């Protein structure tokens, strides 16, 4: 019985290689963890834009099946790397939701100059 299983697996491998697949491409095409730019599982931001009032905006997306409370920080640094101005807020995101956020930084500051940091908000703590 073991010989049949061995031959079957070998035949499948030969067929995959003959059709242009490689074992590395099969493994590389499998995504096990969600892509995020916040460092938080299933939370990411995108669609960065300048608002009509001239301030930076973006959307925060919650791909979790449960509510998520997220705190975010954006700040500017001087030439020595010291913080000179910041914007901190907290968001309560419904399951599978998207929320637009407006920062206090004007679009005259390049968005790439802003330093971002996201974290899970402490339970029971609310920031005004």
Q: What percent of the chain has pLDDT over 70?
A: 68
Q: Degrees (nearest 5) of the Cα angle 110, 59, 124?
A: 110
The residue that leads in pLDDT, 1 or 94, is 94
pLDDT tens track for 33-77: 556 789 899 999 999 999 999 999 999 999 999 999 999 999 999
Domain boundaries, given as residue ranges, for the chain: 1-30, 43-120
DSSP 51-64: -TTSEEEEEEEE-S
Q: What is the mean pLDDT of the chain?
A: 80
Instruction: Select 43-120's CATH number: 2.70.98, 2.60.40, 2.40.50, 1.10.1420.
Output: 2.60.40
44 close to 59: Cβ distance less than 8 angstroms:
no
């Amino acid at each position: 019985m073991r010989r049949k299983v061995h031959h079957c697996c070998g035949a499948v491998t030969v067929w995959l290689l003959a059709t242009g697949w490689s074992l590395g491409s099969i493994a590389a095409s499998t995504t096990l963890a969600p892509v995020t730019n916040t460092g938080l599982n299933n939370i990411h931001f995108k669609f960065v834009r300048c608002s009509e009032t001239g301030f930076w905006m973006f959307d925060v997306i919650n791909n979790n099946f449960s509510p998520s409370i997220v705190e975010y920080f954006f700040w500017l640094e001087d030439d020595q790397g010291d913080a000179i101005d910041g914007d901190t807020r907290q968001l309560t995101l419904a399951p599978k939701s998207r929320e637009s956020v407006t920062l206090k930084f004007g679009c005259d500051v390049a968005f790439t100059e802003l330093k971002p940091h996201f974290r899970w908000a402490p339970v029971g703590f609310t920031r005004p």
